[in-house]
A and B are shown apart, each in its own frame.
Chain A
Amino acid sequence: MESKLADLMTDLEEEAVLKLTKELLTQGQPPLSIIEQCRDGLSRVGEHFAQKEYFLAELVMAAEIFREVMALVQPHLGASEGKGALATIVLGTVKGDIHDMGKNIVASLLSASGFRVIDAGVDVSSNVFVDRVKESGASILGLSALLTTAIPSMKATIEALTDSGLRSRLKVMVGGAVVNQRVAENVGADFYGSDAIKAVDFCRWASGGGSGA
């Protein structure tokens, strides 16, 4: 789909994206189409990231521009429009660890990609994760850790989900500086994401939204 808005979004031209969004809204373009074009731009940002042409700073900027676009578009959305999220995802940094950099960028990108994100915060105990998953009906859980000492908390959280009978309907992804494939297998996760874009791809795949992980 040819779209100037998507191109500007891909190039992270903040001012130009916001200016064009306002113009399109004034011209009466459907708000959902504007969101779609920006998401298209955002997914190209993800492709640049996968190609190592963009880095985390670009992802942060892209998520920020998207947030600003949403703030402009939101008042124009009808009551029922844009409510159909792809899936609900609970995210958090596990007990014993308060690092939030990785979790925050994953949360921003997932919500920009159309998922409903429940951010459980940092230093989250396994019973809080269980409660959040239960309340929200989430189908995906993302656990983050930067400290090796927090890895047992990942394992404990996944065990607690099994004990409460929630594990079978849930996909669990893990990430963070000390996590790798071996750690993921060891704690009983379904997926290890080495970066934020891989997490988004996994969630799309896990929720049946295309783009294989």
Chain B
Amino acid sequence: MLNNIVALLDSGVAASTNSYESIATVSFTTNTAGITFSSIPSTYKHLQIRFMVKSQAATNDFSMYFNNVSSGGLYAFHNLAGNGASASASAYTTQNYAQLINDFNTSFPSGSVMSGVIDLLDYQNTNKYKTTRTLLGTDQNGAGFIKLNSAMYQSTSAISQIDFYNGYNWASGSFALYGVKG
């Protein structure tokens, strides 16, 4: 097949914009229940978090919250998910954190790896609530799920801290925080 493929590489590549910067990374190889990005610089327009985590137990709990606020019911979120057989949608309001996986009927099996990308737009804006969009999923050759999530944090405060929490501990993982200039 490869002999029949013509790959035409341009002499140049897409221009680099220098507007996407790595801020911080947290990696771990021992059991960890959560990680925190604190003192997030205020110099960007948007934030992106890219992560991979490996489970150590069948778990269905993975959440995030902002500015160390995990009470008061300030979070709401919507889910659209597929488990390989059917699609499902759900919504929650007045929550104490933004759940990334919890309600879905496929768990996160022990030893599996989940990958995801979270975008937090306009995180420094003090005139509106904050909204995230997330794409995450795991596949184990016969099981797994893919999910789209949108979450709202009903606060006009600028975001300076993001916490991720897993009630059953991750075996290993990495979270990388990036800033996008505007």
Asked if chains A and B come from one complex, the reply is no
Residues of A within 8 A of B (CB): none
B-side residues, CB < 8 A to A, are: none
